[in-house]
Amino acid sequence: MLRLFRPPRWIDWVYPSCTWRFVVSDNTVFLTFDDGPHPDITPFVLEQLVKFNMKATFFCVGENMVRYPELVNAILEQGHRIGNHTMRHTKGTSVTNEEYLQSVQDFDRNFQTGLFRPPYGKMRVSQRRQMKQRFRIIMWSWLSYDYDTTVSVQTILKRAGKIKKGDIIVLHDNPKITERQKELLPLFLQLLQQKNLKSAVIPFSVSDV
């Protein structure tokens, strides 16, 4: 099966209401972690980010934030940022617009942020129209496939050699891939460092880039 680590450039024009990458003047990339927080993996991720002096944006599932508030505090205390990934990791194309909006709003009631990423990267046009009124919708320009065990760590690292400044990178702090992430992440961050790339949090607005 073909794996698109990098979506085609024309996707920026097809979905202009979404942010796929940033134009930056320095060697900044934007690390993001989806699906957490969880005590099995998020503390390790935070430890590695400190070790390599990287900042990241965590697109959290609201239910996990309620369950593990100490991890939410740890993320923020270390200077990272949090984005809305819905309350229940809700897939937009599998529920009604009302159910989707409810999951987003339930998150919003517990933690307010100007950033949103749709779980699975999927939502209907009508849902996207609603989301862009409230959030900056963050997609990605480089998908790690850290969740896909058919893609080896070595393959991911090889393809990561093509990462460049301005890229929005998707990783996961999902407990289902704890052991795999513990193998991948230190090597991945080391590679970025060797490429003289640094990571920053996703800005809330264009003027903050």
pLDDT per position as a tens digit, 55-67? 999 999 999 999 9
Question: Where would I find the beta strands (DSSP E) of 54-192?
Answer: 56-60, 81-84, 115-116, 136-138, 142-143, 168-172
Structural tokens at position 123: 């939502």
pTM: 0.95
Question: 170: which strand partners?
Answer: 32, 143
Say what the alpha-carbon torsion angle 158, 146, 209, 192 is, to the nearest 10 degrees. -40
Is the separation of the CB atoms in 181 and 145 below 8 Å? no
Is the separation of the CB atoms in 175 and 147 below 8 Å? no
pLDDT (0 to 100) of residue 177: 97
Q: Which residues are tagged catalytic? A: 34, 172
Is the separation of the CB atoms in 171 and 29 below 8 Å? no
pLDDT (0 to 100) of residue 145: 97
Counting Cα atoms < 13 Å in the Cβ hemisphere of 70 gives: 3
Interatomic CA distance for residues 143 and 18, integer angstroms: 16
Q: Which residue has the tokens 């900044």?
A: 28
* pLDDT tens figures, 35-60: 999 999 999 999 999 999 999 999 99
Give every residue of the chain whose pLDDT is below 70, as ranges: 1-2, 206-209
Angle at 46 between CA 43 and CA 52, to 5 degrees: 140
pLDDT (0 to 100) of residue 147: 96
Q: Which residue has the tokens 């593990």?
A: 68
* Fold designation for 20-208: TIM Barrel (3.20.20)
pLDDT (0 to 100) of residue 34: 99
Interatomic CA distance for residues 64 and 175, integer angstroms: 11
Interatomic CA distance for residues 94 and 181, integer angstroms: 28
Q: Is 50 helix (H, G, I), strand (E, B) or coil?
A: helix
DSSP state of 96: -
DSSP state of 152: -
pLDDT (0 to 100) of residue 12: 87
Mention every residue, 6+ apart, whose C-beta is less than 8 A from residue 186.
48, 51
